[in-house]
Structure 1
């Protein structure tokens, strides 16, 4: 995408007033070389433009926003599961939580849910996992706060990496109301859930 197109997309998002928020309170290695499983994309009528903060992040970190193979699903192995758990716990321990930051940053000393998510995704990409299986998602906590999480699309279902929990859970096992997530086919679009 050219800088002009990126700027135009960012201006459209500014005009739309899209922004993210984060919850502030907790709620209740080797990569396998097997090919990823493919599955069909979701209903295109549920697509919308990516949030402004994500678009700004992508202007600074284009490589972290490329999707590569569309609709990838990771075949989990014990080694891969362990590597994902290590990254989730490590990032949760390394970044000190603060209520609000305006920019999404990779591996800052302090940050909010946005920073945890892009740091975890960055580290999982470095392991060689397919980008379209590592989707950023927006949800509401039981208290109604906006929150950003990382979904790992696996053959065991969507796994949730959350800075408010050291445990990785399946999406259906969380108490979140899911709002939207990145499209697994187009980095500039998100899907309502």
Structure 2
């Protein structure tokens, strides 16, 4: 489960927060891409993020990166998303680590949604993807569940890497409502996004 240290003004949000061949995939991305997640004011980070930030330098720091052209970037996102989804078994924090609401890399090949997202961020950074173009994001997932995904910024827009699907999709194509996202630039901060089909419920 995810929790944020928000005040009563955030009560509504707080309640909700308690592959084809590459040559076929890339033209599809280009056809439906085109926008970045909107961000507004700063907001407190989810519980568990600060601990992960302290443990993993790459999560909240600026790391050396390569210059990747668009096709190379998209191919890398697809490769990492499928690879991590394929090798990690989904498990709640308490069953995988023994503690509740711990943001960490998967333990013994098991993890929940934020653990998948952290592993994907780590793998992408190690492969040369710019760290300041990767951010964790909290969304309203299937059946109104709290859910964390990884957002990757490209010149064509923001894409989502999700442990629930092998497809990397533009954020608008996910069907999710985005609530808060790690600041791409500061890395330690979080920003309100409020974008997606249910965003109006919180505005």
Cα displacement string for residues 83-123 of structure 1 (whole angstroms, at most 9, x for unaligned residues): 22111011001110013343222243111001100000000
Structure with greater helix percent: 2
Asked whether 1:65 is paired with 2:60, we answer yes
Aligned residues: 159
Q: Which runs of 5+ in 1 are unaligned?
A: 1-12, 23-40
C-alpha spacing 1:80/1:185, structure 2 compared with 1 (3 Å):
closer
Contact 1:74–1:154 (CA under 8 A) maintained in structure 2: no
| Residue equivalent to 2:70 | 76
Whole-Å separation in 2 of the counterparts to 1:90 and 1:158 = 20
Q: Which runs of 5+ in 2 are unaligned?
A: 8-13, 19-36, 95-100, 194-203
Whole-Å separation in 2 of the counterparts to 1:94 and 1:171 = 24
Q: What's the offset of the Cα at 1:53?
A: 0.6
Asked whether 1:90 is paired with 2:72, we answer no
Contact 2:138–2:147 (CA under 8 A) maintained in structure 1: yes
Asked whether 1:53 is paired with 2:48, we answer yes
Q: What's the offset of the Cα at 1:175?
A: 1.1
Structure 1 stretches (4+) deviating beyond 4 angstroms? 13-16
Contact 2:141–2:177 (CA under 8 A) maintained in structure 1: yes
Cα displacement string for residues 127-170 of structure 1 (whole angstroms, at most 9, x for unaligned residues): 12111100100000241101000000011211100000011110
C-alpha spacing 1:161/1:42, structure 2 compared with 1 (3 Å):
closer
Q: What's the offset of the Cα at 1:75?
A: 4.5
| Residue equivalent to 1:135 | 135
TM-score for the superposition, normalised by structure 1: 0.71
